Amino acid sequence: MPELPEVETARRTLEQLIVGKTIADITVHWHKIIKFDEGADAFIERLKGQTFRSVGRKGKFLLFYLDGDVIVSHLRMEGKFSLKPETEPDNKHTHVIFKLTNGEQLRYNDVRKFGTMHLFNEGQENDAPPLTLVGPEPFDESFTLDYFKEKVQKSSRMIKNILLDQTVVAGLGNIYVDETLFKAGVHPERRGSSITDIELVRIQQAAAETLLEAVEKGGSTIRSYVNSQGKIGSFQNELQVYSQQGTPCPNCGREIIKIKVGGRGTHLCTSCQQ
């Protein structure tokens, strides 16, 4: 699943590719992607003739700002946007096509068909789900120690599961939670109520540092992730524990192991993260 760095990379790429371009028509092959009460046909009619003005992001959501509306899109497991010439054939995984007046097409591909597109009047996108369910990002001013303590230390859940909860902190997924907890020296199965203030500060700092570094390197290409220009990220070359099972810990030399936490594959060093 694309996490914050991959979605931010997609945002930056899409802003270069589509801002200033106008929608002539839209083809929707898989209507369940469109989460609009009035239906996919109304979604299409409402957006015809509108121009992309900017591309934003909140957590793992992309926000396409047009003349008067905002498309709020989640890529889920395998979703990707790409800009193609209209002469290039699409494939069976192309489910939404924004046909632009200049002859290009913004295509949404999704092997698993889990992605979503909501539509709001601009200014109302933050007043309803899904964005009202998104917590602060690790580098937001609202992500204070007091806020973090309230969410973690009063919980009996394991710290990995807390950090994966997008209503608590936005943008972290399996890759970056494993990396964050390794840097902070915290075992992923620790209960939230056992985490000290000092450990919370370390987790905050590690999460922000990890995400910002990953953004700089264009995200991590682990399976199928590429940005909207088809380029892979490079942060996978910097990963210290995620997918590194069987290799020596970069800190102490003990073997990195992989366990299951809440059903998710989890990588750690049992010496550095006791």
Whether 137 is catalytic: no
Give the C-alpha separation, 125 to 228, whole Å.
Answer: 24
Alpha-carbon distances of 176 from 105, 127, 213, 267, rounded to whole Å: 32, 28, 11, 11
Side chain identity at 267, as an amino acid letter? H
Length of the chain measured in residues = 274
Give the C-alpha separation, 227 to 218, whole Å.
Answer: 8
Exactly one of 11, 58, 60, 183 is catalytic; which is it? 60
Whether 2 is catalytic: yes
* Per-residue burial over 18-46, b = 16 or more CB atoms within 10 Å of its CB, e = otherwise: beebbbeebebeeeebbbbeeebeebbeb
Exactly one of 2, 5, 136, 188 is catalytic; which is it? 2
Exactly one of 35, 46, 157, 264 is catalytic; which is it? 264
| 71 beta partners | 64, 119
Whether 5 is catalytic: no
Quickly list DSSP for 89-132.
---TTEEEEEEETTSEEEEEE-SS---EEEEEETT-TTSSTTGG
Exactly one of 3, 78, 125, 179 is catalytic; which is it? 3
CA 209 to chain centre: 16
Whether 141 is catalytic: no
Q: Which residues are catalytic?
A: 2-3, 60, 264
